Amino acid sequence: GAVVSQHPSRVICKSGTSVKIECRSLDFQATTMFWYRQFPKQSLMLMATSNEGSKATYEQGVEKDKFLINHASLTLSTLTVTSAHPEDSSFYICSARGDISYNSPLHFGNGTRLTVT
Amino acid sequence: AQSVTQPDIHITVSEGASLELRCNYSYGATPYLFWYVQSPGQGLQLLLKYFSGDTLVQGIKGFEAEFKRSQSSFNLRKPSVHWSDAAEYFCAVGGTGNQFYFGTGTSLTVIP
């Protein structure tokens, strides 16, 4: 159980365009999902916490107008990278907790490799 | 402040040898501890978790970890490493609310 699906796994886009990444909880409802960014050979950097039915909470230094998050249902959160630039190229990973217990682990999607040319 | 330290950036072991990956944490209350594994280009997979009770926890793929409160450690071990274990390993601590703190990861190379 507690499967998180992320799509697409890879995307290449031109500079200035926007890209949408989807994160779905397949067998559970996730009121909260998390979006991370990972640079090569580095750890995960939390970008934002996505809350169903309300605004996302962004970490300090993350541009909310560039990284738009929509958590429209209990099973779907989307991250849209707007007006993408080469420096936005990275590995983006979403995650969710399997249940609302505060000690439940995070379950991760397989990530999206974004390359902006 | 809460933090997780993985002192070893990279470890190389021979296939069949034993493995220990170190993790130290700093957390003000009872920590909830996790180990994750990440294969190249993939998301993170949960190996095991510790909440309470027996301080030696068993996980998937033959991994285990031991919680030592006195040392603020949660080291990951495997008696005999397989070539497929080559990956990046992350230790994490979680607490109340939605806070998760990840270590910087340890990259494991397995040589034949």
User: For the segment B45-100, what is each residue's pLDDT rounded down to a tens digit?
Assistant: 999 999 888 899 999 999 999 999 999 999 999 999 999 999 999 999 986 666 78
Give me the mean pLDDT over the B24-30 stretch.
Answer: 84
The pLDDT assigned to A39 comes to 87
Of A6, A32, A97, the CB nearest to B43: A6
* Interior/surface letters B9-21, b for 16+ CB within 10 angstroms, e for the rest: eebebeeeeebeb
A-chain residue closest to B94, CA distance: A103
B71 vs B76: CA distance, rounded Å? 14
Chain B (83-102) residues lying within 8 Å, Cβ to Cβ, of chain A: 90, 92, 94-98, 100, 102
The pLDDT assigned to A101 comes to 67
B-chain residue closest to A44, CA distance: B102
CA distance A101 to chain B (A): 9
A-chain residue closest to B88, CA distance: A41
B-chain residue closest to A37, CA distance: B43
B112 vs B108: CA distance, rounded Å? 13
Inter-chain residue contact A102 with B102, CB threshold 8 Å: no
Choose among B39, B37, B44: nearest CA to B78.
Answer: B37
Contact B105, B21 (CB under 8 A): no
pLDDT at residue A100 greater than cutoff 90: no
Inter-chain residue contact B32 with A103, CB threshold 8 Å: yes
CA distance B102 to chain A (A): 7
* Interior/surface letters A19-40, b for 16+ CB within 10 angstroms, e for the rest: bebbbbbeebebebbbbbbbee
User: For the segment A12-32, what is each residue's pLDDT rounded down to a tens digit?
Assistant: 999 999 999 999 999 888 888
- Reduce the DSSP state of residue B40 to 3 states and report it: coil
DSSP string for A36-91: EEE-TT--EEEEEEEETTS--EEPTT--TTTEEEEEEETTEEEEEE-S--GGG-EE
A87 vs A101: CA distance, rounded Å? 36
The pLDDT assigned to B97 comes to 64
Q: Which one of A44, A57, A71, A114 would you mutate to disrupt binding with B, by most B Cβ within 10 Å of its Cβ? A: A44
User: For the segment A42-64, what is each residue's pLDDT rounded down to a tens digit?
Assistant: 888 999 998 888 889 999 999 99
pLDDT at residue A102 greater than cutoff 90: no
A65 sits in the region (left: phi over 0; alpha: psi -120 to 50; else beta) called alpha
B75 vs B72: CA distance, rounded Å? 10
Inter-chain residue contact A108 with B92, CB threshold 8 Å: no
